[in-house]
């Protein structure tokens, strides 16, 4: 029963996500909610997670079961033109495409935030969720090899209608204390 409630909350969170990112939360909401998890639409119990709760530059981001940990919570910070930095609550570092290029399957890591194009992300509505597109290449946040626990996140050419490993449900979460 708990899983069904979680799926409903994920769907509601995804539906409210785009509007919520575009405007400041109310004072009450800001006091209680400031981070989000990036859940796979095809597997909402799986999230983007900094491997091993690392605080180091270059740590890989993987798909992992949701556990309410700070290394799977991201603080969105608006940059420009609808793009956001996604800062790890655990490390304070940003979701980043390694090397900053447009190489197909380049790994997604965390790295010290610098507001560079390879760490600016836009949420593009696709079906029940969003493709998360990096500014530097226009490619999507993707799970290498398809949905699978422990698989690394990469940038990959966005599909026109979204597939299981590149459509996400960004869900607001209560902040960790």
pLDDT the model gives residue 21 = 54
* Model pLDDT for residues 49-80, shown as the tens digit of each residue: 999 999 999 999 999 999 999 999 999 999 99
> Residue 52: is it exposed, middle or buried by C-beta count within 10 angstroms (0-12/13-18/19+)?
exposed
* Model pLDDT for residues 8-21, shown as the tens digit of each residue: 333 334 444 444 45
pLDDT the model gives residue 34 = 87
Tell whether the model's pLDDT for residue 175 goes beyond 70: no
Could you tell me the residue ranges of all domains in the chain? 2-174
CATH number for the domain running over 2-174: 2.80.10.50
Tell whether the model's pLDDT for residue 86 goes beyond 50: yes
In degrees, rounded to 5, the angle at the alpha carbon of residue 173 between the alpha carbons of residues 172 and 177 is 145
* Model pLDDT for residues 29-47, shown as the tens digit of each residue: 444 458 999 999 999 999 9
* Model pLDDT for residues 105-151, shown as the tens digit of each residue: 999 999 999 999 999 999 999 999 999 999 999 999 999 999 999 99
Segment holding 172, helix H or strand E: strand 168-174
What is the C-alpha to C-alpha distance for residues 169 and 152, in angstroms, rounded to an integer? 18
pLDDT the model gives residue 174 = 80
Q: Which residues contact 150 (CB under 8 A, 6 or more apart)?
A: 62, 63, 64
What is the C-alpha to C-alpha distance for residues 43 and 7, in angstroms, rounded to an integer? 9
pTM for the full model?
0.83
Q: Which residues contact 122 (CB under 8 A, 6 or more apart)?
A: 81, 82, 83, 84, 132, 133, 135
What is the C-alpha to C-alpha distance for residues 131 and 133, in angstroms, rounded to an integer? 6
| 3 — pLDDT class (breaks 50, 70, 90) | very low
Determine contact, residues 75/89, Cβ cutoff 8 Å: yes
């Amino acid at each position: 029963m708990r899983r069904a409630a979680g799926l409903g909350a994920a769907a509601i969170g995804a539906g409210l996500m785009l509007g919520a990112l575009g405007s400041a939360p109310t004072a009450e909401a800001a006091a209680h909610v400031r981070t989000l998890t990036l859940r796979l639409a095809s597997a909402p119990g799986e999230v983007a997670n900094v491997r091993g709760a690392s605080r180091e530059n270059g740590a890989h981001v993987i798909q992992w079961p949701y556990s309410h940990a700070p290394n799977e919570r991201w603080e969105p910070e608006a940059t420009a033109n609808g793009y956001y930095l996604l800062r790890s609550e655990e490390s304070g570092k940003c979701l980043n495409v390694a090397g900053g290029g447009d190489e197909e399957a380049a790994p997604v890591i965390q790295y010290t935030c610098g507001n560079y194009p390879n760490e600016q992300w836009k949420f593009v509505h696709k079906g029940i969720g969003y493709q998360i597109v990096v500014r530097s290449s226009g490619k999507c946040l993707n799970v290498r090899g398809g949905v699978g626990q422990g698989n690394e996140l990469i940038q990959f050419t966005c599909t026109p209608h979204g597939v299981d490993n590149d459509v996400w449900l960004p869900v607001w979460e209560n902040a960790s204390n």
